[in-house]
Structure 1
């Protein structure tokens, strides 16, 4: 067996966005593949039967696809795509002379890139997808109506004056900003154009705007109104209609009739709500939400019971609070009184079953070393995207009753009841079998240890295929630090880790204090004081591996992306144990960062304003501690990153260079808070590895 090289790693295909048909017989999902010749990633839509009777079928073969959603009868499958205009619109406009006149405006825009629109396959009759919407600014999100003849669509709707402004900006005119949430990573400068909900007739494409239903607020700038149309005549969405909406993460759940009447506020402003889903009878609404002012508090699943009473009040209750675990995405109804949700639980994602009083951990069939990336359930079937460190990512299915079998009340780790019972799972895909079958891939171990404060911490450790944990030979070790910080490492397939373990490295992924999946107290322990606890936990985790004989103390390296880059700097300002470090896309001066990044409201919530609490901003910044650094640094950034702006990497690079630290700066032009194109992603991984190898004492001594 041979380790995967860079080219093989980028032959791997990544599934996402699974959705199950109403009768449970089929699952649709997206698959992202690398187009080597174009140096781009392509995302296609696939369908597969949930009984595993045949291989997945590719539905889309042009452009990209996103946000798949089944129609209520299961015969139609809609999705978002930025494709060339539907021939039926361009050649024979549907709707008569008025439509032809309206198409004249479209002809003026023919040279522009196509906007994302809703397209729909008629799976009963076959054929290519049909374009359902034709919004000049494209479609952000949509959902089917209960009859399948209408959809609710979220789309920007500029006034004439705003349209003129947008045209000037596209012609490189000046950008004018009046919003406090002035910019969003990957989306650019924020303007005053509202994103409204529209009800669209599937056949005629006629769209009616719901004037009282639109996105507003800081959180909406990231995710939009997230429309959901239930079995009845109510449409749910999220927005913030209070004062100073750009200066809060509060986001309420609302309901409105499809004729635009009867706007109803369902929450009271204390939550940041998202991902609404109606119950099968349409009487109740479930959604995920966290505290609007405290990001460290677990995201919980809430249910709104019934309509408002005569006083306008509704009953809103959390159905997951007692778990003390954070929900990852929105809930899914399985019957009138039960929901499923994906939750971070003890260093992995797993399913939880929720009702009014007794949420339980379930889905032991995923096994102790599989992480749940996504899921959906309908018609008595549940489909789940699972990831394993050495098996890759694939889609599985099971009966919903089987999935709900109690997997124990443990902490989500290997000791759970039924953790190794995978008899219920039906494999639906083998997406990367040809690449992974003969590859040397890592094994994975959970390691628990005490940090310097006596707190028990857990790390997920990836070991080379030829490594014997019981009779170890110490290896070069990379402490790789997850971002967030409100996230966690779990046993899953990771390109970086597969590549590094294939080259003989041990990879130590520490779930430091502040990580989610271990409860509110653990996550909140770093609130407003980022850095010292996380650094202690990361160093303590590496020391544990040294004590076990897994890690060579002279060949230690540390790296991380985003919050992982921030924490990497905290580590090397406090420890000289590492031979080299690579902070990626991080923040190193929070004081100067305020107002230049897109999540400044988070800083206000946790730290206050920098002019009121300058010391709090300075205390969590590492830029003033560069004289404590002796570790060679490779610093990376995306030129257009607005989550962790490139200027932060520049400040760090110039500062450590002037302080005499060996350093190198790598900036990826045009990239946001990620590295997208395959060749750049390869370059990143290769450059990190070369940095570690160049500073490995074993290489320097010729061993």
Structure 2
């Protein structure tokens, strides 16, 4: 077996969506390259239709394929740009041009139900009023007579339908930040949408319905890409059916009067029947998509994508027996690395947990801080942390308070205290590893992206224990972030403060902290990042430079919030490894 390398993570085939046909005998999936090609806007993807033994029945190649579902006759249906594609088992695709950008697809009474956004035609005079001319994503129904618009001036983020009724997560304005103020609407075509649930300062997602009931997840959440929380069941009135649970819930399905849920207990995942308590499946690792894990269920079959620390990601089908795909069989010769769940107590007595991946206690340690903050680090066969072991490092990934995996209470513990006790949790975790002899090195580094980038920048200003910090697309100044980010409602809610009162925002901003920085720092940022605009790191770079602290900054053209072009991914990892080894 050989060590993991950057080429392996570039070669990983990312299993994005898994669906089962109604007869339970056909599995559909969308598999993506783990990178974008040079200057390509979309990822290259493949839709597969498999039988129960994972023989390929049909295949479709394209770019930007998404939103997979099955029609009543067992055809796979998905979106490609402005088109809805129907792929039968014969492998012959039929395409329908909707005239708009399709966001998601499902069915209502056997007819395609989808969300779409009309794109404005460009003119020579293409100036516009900021936040006044953004288009809504509306619901549409397609039948033999054409396409019918169901909603207007209501931003539809998610939807689920059954028996002619649609349940949606929607907001009154279309900007990305408006998602944080979404409500649950019940829609009957031809009637006005009815608000049935308002989560207040919390967020909602993963909505589903069986016609009689609806269910969705609710918690304070960082962004639309990371959905986890408690399960709210609505059957005329709403109630929290997982109140007080110490597990986080990532997906829910209503079927045959049962509620099936995917729970995350410190990165041990379980598919559970919440009515009977029966555990249908359990595994420690990562269920895909990793930050919004899901599964599907039909005709007594369950399907999902999973990777343990010992096994590459594959689709698992549970029916009479468990079978799995061979999508990533090309990784069979790559070495797996050990993973351990470590638990320790914070200074205030809070129970904390994290992932330790270690080969030799004497190896230098990378402290990897996940983004979010309402997300989590996990231990899979090959991921953004495991490859560092192939280059001679150990990795510690603390799931500090505010993370997913210990229930909603834990996930909401850092609201109003971003970079306070959650940062202290990281430091206490390192002290725990030292005091218990799990690590035997003073060569300790810190890295992370997004909120992890913020925490890595914060580390430069709050402590001198790290040999170096590699900070990716994070926040350096909360006030300026609020002014230029398209997530301006998020920081108000998660900071629990008025940015224009300045006090709390300044208190938690790295560039406002009174400390003479000494930690060598490498910054990386995408030039087109709308969530955390690159100005955050231009500011931090200039701040550190004029404080005579060693700092370098890599700017990635064409990249947004995260690096996705192949050579940019390679550059990120190799520069990180080089910078840490040089210090």
- Which of the pair is proportionally richer in strand? 2
Q: 1:319 aligns to what? A: 241
Alignment of 1:249 with 2:180, yes or no, is yes
Q: CA deviation at 1:11?
A: 1.6
Q: CA deviation at 1:446?
A: 1.2
Q: 2:254 aligns to what? A: 333
Q: 1:442 aligns to what? A: 337
Go from structure 1 to structure 2 and tell me whether the alpha carbon gap of 1:153 and 1:593 turns closer, same or farther (over 3 Å shift): same
Go from structure 1 to structure 2 and tell me whether the alpha carbon gap of 1:354 and 1:215 turns closer, same or farther (over 3 Å shift): farther
Q: Structure 1: how far apart are the matches of 2:198 and 2:497? A: 23
Alignment of 1:685 with 2:563, yes or no, is no
User: Secondary structure of 2:545's match?
Assistant: helix
Q: 2:88 aligns to what? A: 122
Q: Structure 1: how far apart are the matches of 2:528 and 2:247? A: 34
Bigger mean CA offset, 436-445 vs 667-676: 436-445
Q: 2:130 aligns to what? A: 177
User: Secondary structure of 1:249's match?
Assistant: helix
Number of aligned residue pairs: give it: 574
Q: Structure 2: how far apart are the matches of 1:545 and 1:478? A: 12
Q: 1:111 aligns to what? A: none
Q: 1:405 aligns to what? A: none
Go from structure 1 to structure 2 and tell me whether the alpha carbon gap of 1:247 and 1:394 turns closer, same or farther (over 3 Å shift): closer
Q: Structure 1: how far apart are the matches of 2:193 and 2:157? A: 14
Alignment of 1:208 with 2:148, yes or no, is yes
Aligned with residue 329 of structure 2, among 433, 444, 454: 433
Go from structure 1 to structure 2 and tell me whether the alpha carbon gap of 1:144 and 1:523 turns closer, same or farther (over 3 Å shift): closer
Q: 1:366 aligns to what? A: 282
Alignment of 1:511 with 2:511, yes or no, is no
Q: Structure 1: how far apart are the matches of 2:392 and 2:221? A: 44
Q: 1:457 aligns to what? A: 352
Aligned partners of 2:185 and 2:195 also within 8 Å: yes
Q: Structure 2: how far apart are the matches of 1:691 and 1:537? A: 25
Q: Structure 2: how far apart are the matches of 1:528 and 1:37? A: 40
Q: CA deviation at 1:626?
A: 6.7
Alignment of 1:227 with 2:159, yes or no, is yes
Aligned partners of 1:626 and 1:655 also within 8 Å: no
User: Secondary structure of 1:479's match?
Assistant: strand
Aligned partners of 2:170 and 2:182 also within 8 Å: yes
After TM superposition, list the pairs within 5 Å mapping 1:9-20 onto structure 2: 9-20=9-20
After TM superposition, list the pairs within 5 Å mapping 1:599-678 onto structure 2: 599-605=487-493, 606-611=495-500, 613-625=501-513, 627-678=515-566
Alignment of 1:46 with 2:45, yes or no, is no
Go from structure 1 to structure 2 and tell me whether the alpha carbon gap of 1:690 and 1:241 turns closer, same or farther (over 3 Å shift): closer
Go from structure 1 to structure 2 and tell me whether the alpha carbon gap of 1:368 and 1:178 turns closer, same or farther (over 3 Å shift): closer
Q: What's the CA shift string for 1:602-641, capped at 9, x where partnerless?
A: 2222333222x21110111111237432110001111111
Q: CA deviation at 1:548?
A: 4.0
Q: What's the CA shift string for 1:287-331, capped at 9, x where partnerless?
A: 3334699999973222222xxxxxxxx3222222242543324x2
User: Secondary structure of 1:323's match?
Assistant: coil
Go from structure 1 to structure 2 and tell me whether the alpha carbon gap of 1:462 and 1:269 turns closer, same or farther (over 3 Å shift): closer
List alignment gaps of at least 5 residues for structure 1: 83-115, 180-190, 306-313, 403-423, 468-472, 696-703
Q: 1:99 aligns to what? A: none
Q: CA deviation at 1:269?
A: 6.1
Q: 1:529 aligns to what? A: 417
Alignment of 1:197 with 2:127, yes or no, is no
Q: Structure 2: how far apart are the matches of 1:244 and 1:393? A: 34
Aligned with residue 300 of structure 2, among 345, 360, 380: 380
Q: Structure 2: how far apart are the matches of 1:142 and 1:564? A: 33
Bigger mean CA offset, 581-590 vs 265-274: 265-274
Go from structure 1 to structure 2 and tell me whether the alpha carbon gap of 1:229 and 1:586 turns closer, same or farther (over 3 Å shift): same
Q: Structure 2: how far apart are the matches of 1:514 and 1:195? A: 31
Q: Normalising by structure 1, what TM-score? A: 0.76
Greater Rg over alpha carbons, structure: 1
Alignment of 1:143 with 2:60, yes or no, is no
Aligned partners of 2:285 and 2:306 also within 8 Å: no
Q: What's the CA shift string for 1:200-225, capped at 9, x where partnerless?
A: 11xx4611222xx2463xxx4xxx34
Q: 2:484 aligns to what? A: 596
Q: What's the CA shift string for 1:102-135, capped at 9, x where partnerless?
A: xxxxxxxxxxxxxx32111233xx2421112422
